[in-house]
Structure 1
Amino acid sequence: MSRTTFTLDDLKRILLEGSGVPEGADLRADILDTDFTDIGYDSLALLETASRVEREYGIELDETVLGDATTPRAFVDAVGAHLSAQPV
């Protein structure tokens, strides 16, 4: 199912579904500009997250998204850019 918006809440839900909550992490805190590694998510968790986003939102993320999107804000922005570039 293709959707047109992607929010921090969407990202948190997908992270929880795919990887759970890392020990000591608080996803209710202001994490927008916190590096994923500081939250407790490694590259495998982000690969799983990206894969789930692609399936759920019907998009294909560039490989550079995972390298460049080191914070939730950057990831949400990158997914949003892909969604807005899709033909309606």
Structure 2
Amino acid sequence: MIVSPDVIGMIIALFAFTLTVLGGVATMLAKQTKTLDARLDRIDTRLDRMDDRFDRMDDRFDRLEGEVVEVKIAIARIEGPRRHLQQL
């Protein structure tokens, strides 16, 4: 079977066009991936800072809870024991 030069030219042109389109898509995906990675890195950094802040707040609440318990104990000592029913 003999293939005409026009058919061979069309096949080569379609092959080159396909490679060009796929190269453009690959470049576009690479750029989007790079941009998304940068954004995710910034988000991770922010989340790490938020975790540190929450840890500090937890420490503060733990200290405050201990102080509240101490105040309750001091108030109970000032008030004295609960009065029981007294017989007349």
Give the TM-score band, short-chain normalised: under 0.3
TM-score by length of 1: 0.22
Query: In proportion to residue count, which structure has more helix?
Result: 2
TM-score by length of 2: 0.22
